[in-house]
Structures are given as C-alpha cells and as structure tokens.
Homo-oligomer: A and B are copies of this chain.
Amino acid sequence: MEKNTRSRKARIQKTNGTATVAAFKNSSNSAEGQIAANAQTPLEMRFIEAQTNLGASRQRLLRQILAEPHETFFLSSREMARRYGVDSATIVRTVQAMGYQKFADFAHDLRNHFVTQITPYTAMKAATQKNRSVADYIHQSIDQDLENLNALKTSLDVNKVVELVKQIHQTRRIVVVGIDFAASLAMSLAYGLVRLGCDAEAPTGSTGVVQNKVRIMTKKDLLVVISFGQGLRETVEAAQRARRRNVPTFGITDGDKTPIARFCDHYITASIARTSFIDSYVASVAAINAILVACAHTQPKRALELLAQTEREYSSGARWYQGEDSDQKTR
C-alpha cells in the first residue's frame, strides 16, 4: 500500500517531466482578455458560456489550463490535478460544471483547442536549433512566417477590419502610403482595392508626391499608412498631417506602441518578427488579403461583377498567354 502510493507519485512526476511537448513560447498576453474577446474553439465558447456559474478559483483553474494547452492536452485528470495543486475530484467537478458529462469529453475538446493554438514552428523551436546550413535558414524562415501568420490569426481583431471595410465603401478616395519594403504592400492593397471598384492609389516616387497627395485629401477620404517599428519619418508625418486636417487614417503596423498605432484613428497589427536579417512581411500580406476579402464580401454582387468584367477585358484582349489549350482561368 505504502509502496504503491510512492510508485504512483514517481510515475506521475516522471510523466510531468518528460511528456511535455518541449519548451514552448509562453505568450505574455493575459489569457483572460484574449479568451473573453473572441472565443473560437468549442471549449472557449463553453467556458465563457458557463463563466457565470463558475466560482473564482474554478475560473482561474480553467484559465490556466486553456492558456497552456500544449502542456495539458495529454494529461489525465489526476496528472492535471497534481499539476495545479488540487485534487483530481476538483478537476472532474470543474469540467462537469462546464457542462461536460465525462472528463473524456473535456479532454477531447481540449485536444482540439490545443490544435488550434499550436503551430509547427512553435513545436520545432526547441528541437531544431542547429542552424548550420543555408537550408536550415530557409526552413526557419518559413517557420517564422508560419508563426507570424498564426499570431495574426489569433490576435487579429476582425471587427476592426469590418469597420475599415465599411469606411472604405463610404469614402470617396483612398490613398495608401508605404515606403521601402512597405511600398510593395501599399501597392498590392491599392491594386486590390482598384480591382474591387474603389478609387485607391499608392503614390510612389519622391517625397513631394506623397505630401501633395495627402495635402489635397479631405474628411471624405481615407488615408491608409503602412510602417513598422519605429516607423519611417515620411510615413508617420503623412499620418500626422492627415489627422491634423481631420482626414480619417487607418494604420497597418506591428505593435500597439508604434507611432503609426498612436497617430492613426484605427489600426491593425501584424508581426514582422524575423529569425534572420530579413523582416517577414507574410503576416502583413495576409492582413491586406483579409481586408480585400472582407471588401469583396460586403458587396459580393458588385465585386463579382467587377472581377468578371476585368476578366472579360483581359481574355478578349491579348493579356493572357495563349500557348495551346487555354482552358485555365486563374492567373
């Protein structure tokens, strides 16, 4: 009996020690606001639903579990209890209070919750730190892209995008400002908006061009500025100037404390974190893509017409390559 208990302890300790899926990045943002803000998994939905019926300690317990699913998704009720310093009965009764009949049902949802949170990069991070060949750097670069993109997925405030799109459809003209690397982002956003029937442009060229474009904007227009980190002076000043003249501004940047975030009426963030010297603009592109998709689907009929029209013009003219069989339609 006594030996029995001891061996059980030993096994559980060993399990806790080795079965963890390697050193994960502990997200610094508070899990509370994150979960409350936008519930995406069935588990989170059930959690905020039953939140009122749950005591404070049970909420704290669940929050801990949901915040680090990568360390909890494979644990048994006993192991989970030991991990958070409670009895296994407490675990079972807590998940029952959430509405689950059996712990297995909760475990199932927890697995799915884990899957939505995890990215391959996060898992490989600790494992593959060799960095010896160029090939490793390439892999690492894509992994970083995946990580940034996944961060965008979980942190992107969809409402902000929807609001932006409403604004876009109401506004008269849209000017997108981006310099250097951000120039290609500005270009693609403006191009996409034009194809969707908006009067948008991304001025390129000398400093004066941008300044003049902004100068003739009014309240009825919209200025979109794209810059990251400390921000390029010209881009930030364009935002400031626009704001002074009551021109609506929307920013795309990579943090809440960047100049762009502070000086724009609204903004969204997309990480450009890099492993190598080169910034990763993948998440930014995804954000821009999301904006365009949202634009298209708020007026789907009009968007389809416009796109079909462009399609027709293209194929009637000689814009497509017509080598032999031309049955494809994508570009």
A234: nearest residue on chain B (CB-CB)? B319
B185:A184 contact, CB within 8 angstroms: yes
B185:A74 contact, CB within 8 angstroms: no
The answer for the CA separation of A150 and B285 in the assembled complex, in Å, is 16
Q: Which residues of the partner chain B approach A229 to less than 8 Å between Cβ atoms?
A: 328-331
The answer for the CA separation of A104 and B307 in the assembled complex, in Å, is 54
B319:A233 contact, CB within 8 angstroms: yes
> Taking A15-B104, A112-B22 as contacts, is the C-beta distance between A289 and B145 under 8 angstroms?
yes
Q: Does A37 lie at the interface of the complex (its beta carbon under 8 Å from any beta carbon of B)?
A: no
The answer for the CA separation of A272 and B188 in the assembled complex, in Å, is 15
The answer for the CA separation of A21 and B42 in the assembled complex, in Å, is 12
Q: Does A318 lie at the interface of the complex (its beta carbon under 8 Å from any beta carbon of B)?
A: yes
B120:A233 contact, CB within 8 angstroms: no
Smallest CB separation, A107 vs chain B (Å): 8
> Taking A183-B191, A326-B230 as contacts, is the C-beta distance between A298 and B134 under 8 angstroms?
yes
Q: Does A152 lie at the interface of the complex (its beta carbon under 8 Å from any beta carbon of B)?
A: yes
Smallest CB separation, A179 vs chain B (Å): 9
Query: Per a CB cutoff under 8 Å, which of B137, B142, B259 touches A156?
Result: B142
8 A Cβ contacts from A250-285 to B: 254, 259, 272, 275-282, 285
8 A Cβ contacts from A201-226 to B: none
The answer for the CA separation of A137 and B299 in the assembled complex, in Å, is 13
Smallest CB separation, A184 vs chain B (Å): 4
The answer for the CA separation of A236 and B296 in the assembled complex, in Å, is 29
Q: Does A84 lie at the interface of the complex (its beta carbon under 8 Å from any beta carbon of B)?
A: no
Q: Which residues of the partner chain B approach A277 to less than 8 Å between Cβ atoms?
A: 293, 296, 303-304, 307
Q: Which residues of the partner chain B approach A159 to less than 8 Å between Cβ atoms?
A: 135
How many A residues face the partner with a CB closer than 8 A? 97
B181:A191 contact, CB within 8 angstroms: yes
B191:A321 contact, CB within 8 angstroms: no
Query: Per a CB cutoff under 8 Å, which of B137, B233, B234 touches A297?
Result: B137
> Taking A188-B181, A321-B231 as contacts, is the C-beta distance between A294 and B137 under 8 angstroms?
yes
> Taking A15-B104, A277-B296, A285-B282 as contacts, is the C-beta distance between A290 and B138 under 8 angstroms?
yes
Q: Contact mask A9-39 → B, CB, 8 Å, 1/0?
A: 0000001001101100000000000000000
Q: Can you spell out 23 A-B residue pairs with CB atoms less than 8 angstroms apart?
A: A18-B108, A22-B112, A42-B127, A112-B123, A135-B162, A138-B156, A138-B293, A141-B289, A142-B152, A146-B149, A180-B191, A183-B187, A184-B184, A184-B191, A227-B331, A230-B331, A232-B321, A233-B320, A254-B330, A276-B297, A277-B296, A279-B330, A281-B289
